[in-house]
Each structure stands twice: as structure tokens, then as C-alpha cells.
Amino acid sequence: MRQHRGVGTHILTVEDDERIRQAVKLALEEEGWDVTEAGTGESAMDAFTDNPPDVVLIDINLPGMDGFEVCRQLRRESDVPIIMVTARADTHDVVAGLEAGADDYMTKPFAPKELSARIRAMLRRSRNAEQGNMQRVKVGELEISPEEGMVMQGETEVHLTKTEFKLLCELASQPGKVFSREVLLERVWGYDYFGDGRLVDVHIRRLRTKVEPDAASPRYVVTARGLGYKLQP
């Protein structure tokens, strides 16, 4: 191996097609990651408990327990970054996967190089999210502490995934200013201009259910019509 970009970083791939699993494992190992494979949702849950990975890659079409369910179960016990693999970009699968708790998605057939780039962006995100060098921000009852990686809603701590936290920190970096989907995709997900705006929309929705007293009429994370989102000071 000539590249060791991801030494020690452990990826769990959940894919039922034997040959795809092998080929993706080969290619990811070539990129320098440690890879564990699982052929079913059930075995993925076991593998996750035995040897917790840094990133999980889940194919949506699994026999038995499907990818969405795996995603939901994982989310119940962990905020590990999850990438969904879907057949197409324009199906409801993408939104359903994101709503089940995935952080990002890839469509088949993808280039493992591209997947590696996404994984790197994700890991950078979770590290940044913990470190941060931002001041503490308080809007209304909501208090965001980037350094501690903590969000308080009044007296209670709000539990966010790494991506949700990074998203909220981005918005909180300039309260009152509007962030377009493109800017958020670039800063939170590391995408260029042509990233999928639904990533932002679904994550905003998820974020609202956690930080808003009433997610249907948001007080903090508000939509700027046609432009993007902002944190209402």
C-alpha cells in the first residue's frame, strides 16, 4: 500500500452482493482504510457492537432488515457517521435514508475514490465539531458551545449527530445571516456547488425536531425564502 491516509480508521460496509462487497473492500483498503464487511442488517448490528467503526456504509437494498432499519437502529445507540448507498439519486430513497439518520449518500455505481473523499470530509467534520474555535453562542433559550461540542435548550442538553452539530455551528457562526444551501453543502459536507440540496433540507428538518420548541413553526433555525437558512438571533 502506497497511501496511508486513513490508517487506523475503521469502516463497516453493509452490502448483500458478495462480489460488490469484495471489490469495494479491496478498493477501500487500497485507499488505506480498515474495512469490516457485513452481508445482512443483523450481522451489521453484531459487527457494530463487536468492533465499533468510525464510519458505516449501508446499502439500502438488503434482504431481511433493510438499510433504513439498520440506520435507525444504529442511530438509537450511536452518532457514528453513516453513508447510505442508493440505486438512484432521484428517488424517495435518498430522503428516506437521510430521515432515517444517514449523514450523506452515494449512488451506485460510485467511484471508491469519491467515497473516500466523502469519508474524509465526514471524519474532518466530526473532529472539527469536537474541537472548534468558536465563541459560545446564545439565542433565546438555545445555547451552543462549540468547544465542548454541546447544545443546551434551557436546562436540558440536546443530543445532536456530528453533522447536525456542525450544521448548527455554521449557522451560529454568523447569526442572522442567510446561508445558501450551496454554502452549507460546501462547509458542512465538503461538496461543491452541485451537491444535493436535499442533504441540507433534511438535516435542517432533523435539527429542528431537536432544537425547536415547535418544529412546525421554527423560532431559531428559520428559512429565508428561496435563499437558504439562518439562525434567528
Partner 1 sequence: MATSSNPEPHWLGSRRRLLGRIIGLRARVSLSYALGALLLSTGVAVSTFVLAQRQLLAETEEVAIDQMFRNARDLRRDLLFEAAAAEIPVFLEGLVRTNNAQVLLLPRGGEPRSLSGLEIEDIPVDLRAQVIPGQAAKKHFQTNEGGQFASGVFISQIDAEYYEILPMTEFEGTLATLRRILIGASATATILGAGLGYYLARRILQPVTNAAEAAEAIASGDFDTQLDEQSDPDLAKLTRSFNDMVEALRSRIERDERFASDVSHELRSPLMTLAASVEVLEHRRDEMPEAARRATDLLSKDLRRFQRLVEDLLEISRLDAGAVQLENDTFEVMEFLRRVVAQSRTPGVPVETEEFGALILTADKRRLHQVISNLLDNARKYAGGATLILVALHNDRVRVSVIDEGPGVDPADRLSIFDRFSRAGGDAGRRDIAKGVGLGLSLVAEHVRLHGGRIWVDGQTPTGRGARFVLELPGIEVDATGEMEELAT
CB 190 within 8 A of CB 196: no
How many Cβ atoms from other residues are within 10 Å of residue 213's Cβ?
Answer: 13
222 pairs with which residues across the strands?
A: 230
How far apart CA 151 and CA 142 sit, in angstroms, is: 7
Distance in Å, CB of 187 to partner 1, minimum: 9
Q: How far apart are CA 201 and CA 99, in angstroms?
A: 10
CA–CA dist 191, 134 (Å, integer) = 22
Stretch that binds partner 1, among 25-33, 40-48, 141-149, 151-159 (CB under 8 A): 25-33
Q: How far apart are the first and last CA of the chain?
A: 50
**Is 185 within 8 Å of 199 (Cβ atoms)?**
yes
Q: Of 154 and 176, which has the nearer Cβ to partner 1?
A: 176
Q: Does 7 bind partner 1 (CB under 8 A)?
A: no
Taking the complex as a whole, how short is the minimal distance between the CB of residue 115 and partner 1, in angstroms?
A: 9
Does 66 sit near partner 1 (CB under 8 A)? Answer: no
Which range binds partner 1 by CB under 8 A, 70-78, 84-92, 122-130, 157-165? Answer: 84-92
Which span sits near partner 1 by CB under 8 A: 4-12, 71-79, 107-115, 126-134?
107-115
Residues that bind partner 1 (CB under 8 A): 17, 19-20, 22-24, 26-27, 30, 61, 87-90, 108-113, 173-174, 176-181, 183, 192-194, 196-198, 224, 226-227, 230
